Amino acid sequence: MSGDVLIALVPLCVFSSVYYGMRPILLVLTGIISAVISETLCCLFMRRKPSIVDGTAAVTGALVGALVSPLSPYWLPAAGAIFAIVAVKMPMGGSGRNLFNPAAAGLAAITLCFQGFLFTYPDPGLGVPLPLADNALSGIITQGSPAAQLAEGGQTLYTPTILLLGDFPGPIGATAIAILLAVALYLFIRRSISAIIILPYLATCAMLAWAFPRVSGGSGGSIMVELCSGYLLFAGVFLLNDPVTSPRHWLGRVFYGVLAGLFVMLMRYFGRFEEGACFAILLVNAFSTTLDRLGWYLLNLKRIRERRRVE
């Protein structure tokens, strides 16, 4: 399960390293290493058998690392991953017991605290790899991401082809839309992600983008830019399908996807940041159990009523 997710992240990182050199891969590795080390330390502190073998800590670190900007300093994914493990995952009881998605929570923490680092993206047309050292980063040409353009409104510069190819500034793992779709297909075949979460999620986002476009010129273009910008698609594939925090019941999963799409788009329309999908995921995680019970209740409504009548 977590092995599949790690494999799926490899092509995304490779794609980013084609544009920006080795730095994105080192950032993701920093996330993984700090998550694994902090989980080991937590297990030692709690006098438990180390639970890093199941790979969930590595996945958390890799997801946090894959969602920071290629231009961010190395301590940023480390801080996110450590927060995710130490403050969100382990206090709830470790793997399989966390109420909230640790990666989304770690990302939310660094979004709140260091948005300047997180939302400054390098120009993909640089042609030279980024420097590896943190102190050599000043003076790199930066460019506003599509999500930032959407937040400002007006005409978007990005055509659907550019968006699909991923030739635009954005987080390490979330720009390669075509690769992301292929990876989603792989994870779907391996049964690591569930189509009844991600399809309602994307449908809700698309419907809202169609009904309330933020760019001038056609609602079709609005749908395309909204779905491809930021890390909306990445969040739908990797963060929303976390088997621990998503509902089990199929109807609950449909509601979960719809609610997540609604929250993600509301965060975009009214939120403080250009991308607030991590906050939306955390919010919808809190509804997970309720949605499970709601789905079961709605399907068994007839039987429940009959039983009441008998009594």
Partner 1 sequence: MSNTGNKSKQSSANNTKELQNAFFDSFLSRNIVLVQAIGIAPILAAGITLQNGVTLTLCTAAVLLPSSLFMSFFGDRLPAWVRAPLYTVGSTLLLLGAALLIDRFISQQLYANLYIFLPLTAVNSLVSYRAGGFSVSHKPTVALVDAIASSLGFGIVICVVSALREITSYGKLWNIPLNSAFKLPEAALPYAAFLLLGFMAAFLQWIKSASERD
Nearer to partner 1, 43 or 87 (CB): 87
Nearer to partner 1, 112 or 199 (CB): 112
User: Binding mask 51-70 vs partner 1 (x if CB under 8 A, - otherwise)?
Assistant: --------------------
Closest distance of CB 114 from partner 1, Å:
9
Identify residues 8-37 at the interface with partner 1 (CB under 8 A): none
* DSSP conformation letters of 49-83: ---GGGSHHHHHHHHHHHTS-TTS-THHHHHHHHH
- The separation between the first and the last C-alpha atoms of the chain, rounded to the nearest angstrom, is 45
Nearer to partner 1, 83 or 121 (CB): 83
Count of residues engaged in binding partner 1, rule: CB under 8 A? 4
CA 36/CA 20 separation, integer angstroms: 26
User: Binding mask 131-170 vs partner 1 (x if CB under 8 A, - otherwise)?
Assistant: ----------------------------------------
CA 189/CA 13 separation, integer angstroms: 21
User: Binding mask 166-205 vs partner 1 (x if CB under 8 A, - otherwise)?
Assistant: ----------------------------------------
Among 3, 50, 91, 243, binds partner 1 (CB under 8 A): 91
CA distances from 84 to 97, 171, 223, 250 (A): 14, 18, 32, 28
Nearer to partner 1, 129 or 271 (CB): 271
Closest distance of CB 109 from partner 1, Å:
9
Q: Both tokens of residue 46?
A: 């709690």
Closest distance of CB 112 from partner 1, Å:
5
Nearer to partner 1, 50 or 91 (CB): 91
Closest distance of CB 72 from partner 1, Å:
17
Nearer to partner 1, 112 or 195 (CB): 112
Nearer to partner 1, 44 or 211 (CB): 44
Q: Specify whether the CB–CB gap between 202 and 31 falls below 8 A.
A: no
CA distances from 166 to 134, 149, 198, 279 (A): 25, 16, 20, 24
Identify residues 206-235 at the interface with partner 1 (CB under 8 A): none
Residue 123 falls in which region: left (phi positive, over 0), alpha (psi -120 to 50) or beta: beta
> Torsions phi, psi of 141, nearest 5?
-70, 125
Nearer to partner 1, 34 or 204 (CB): 34
Q: Both tokens of residue 309?
A: 């009548």
112 binds partner 1 (CB under 8 A): yes
Q: Both tokens of residue 27?
A: 């950032």
Closest distance of CB 97 from partner 1, Å:
14
Among 87, 99, 196, 227, binds partner 1 (CB under 8 A): 87
CB atoms within 10 A of CB 299: 14
Crossing angle of the two packed helices 75-83 and 23-45, in degrees rounded to 10: 30
Which residues partner with 154 through β-bridges?
215
User: What residues line the site for partner 1 (CB under 8 A)?
Assistant: 87, 91, 112-113
